[in-house]
Amino acid sequence: MKDTYRHQGKRQQLVRTVQKKGITSEKVLEAIGQIPRHLFMDSSFEDHAYQDKAFPIAADQTISQPYTVAFQSELLQIKKGEKVLEVGTGSGYQTAVLCLLGAKVYSIERQRELYKKTKVFLGKLGYRPKYLSFGDGYKGIPEYAPYDKIIVTAGAPEVPTDLLSQLKVGGRLVIPVGVDVQTMTLFVRKSAKEFDKKEFGTFRFVPLLED
């Protein structure tokens, strides 16, 4: 588990790449510059770790493109100490970004193999989410609701109502919505029954699986 000067140099190049694509949040750029993404990937992909691309990980899932991670993180507008629900722990890379942004992270993963691996791995690297859960992301984690922010890291055909109900008034939910190609969508909860919705271009995610 080495993080060399070469890796660190490549990370700074990656920061410049996502910056050029329009990411402006200093905190998000700082997190991308700090996290050793090569350690979250299969060692055979290590040389590609700091390219702005998604790559396969275990259980037919992917580690998201750094720009996508940065884009979703920036849309969330996280403040230190906020409770954030992450649906789709995956490799734990996005989880690590949320932790560095100062969030109290509650994360849920549908693939048991990934859940077990990532739980151990994040601890080894020193990233400490509040709670990691194995289960159905469509249902969220109701026992710790409401959340200040919710992020979904897989494509959902529509927005799960359970997730909307677990969001605080004033809270933000960022979710890619669609089947083959997804539209990044932001919901801001205005009141018990009212949500503002904004769309931000198309992305490609693995599907959000339901039980």
What is the C-alpha separation between 36 and 54, in angstroms, rounded? 15
Supply angle C-alpha 124, 129, 130, rounded to 5: 130
Q: Report which of 38, 39, 50, 44 is spatially closest to residue 12, judged by C-alpha positions.
A: 50
What is the C-alpha separation between 189 and 3, in angstroms, rounded? 40
| Angle of the 112-125 helix axis to the 93-100 helix axis, nearest 10 | 40
Contacts of 209 (CB under 8 A, 6+ apart): 110, 137, 154
By annotation, the residues acting in catalysis are 64
- Tally of CB atoms within 10 A around 47: 10
Cα–chain center distance at 153? 5
Q: Report which of 91, 83, 81 is spatially closest to residue 115, judged by C-alpha positions.
A: 91
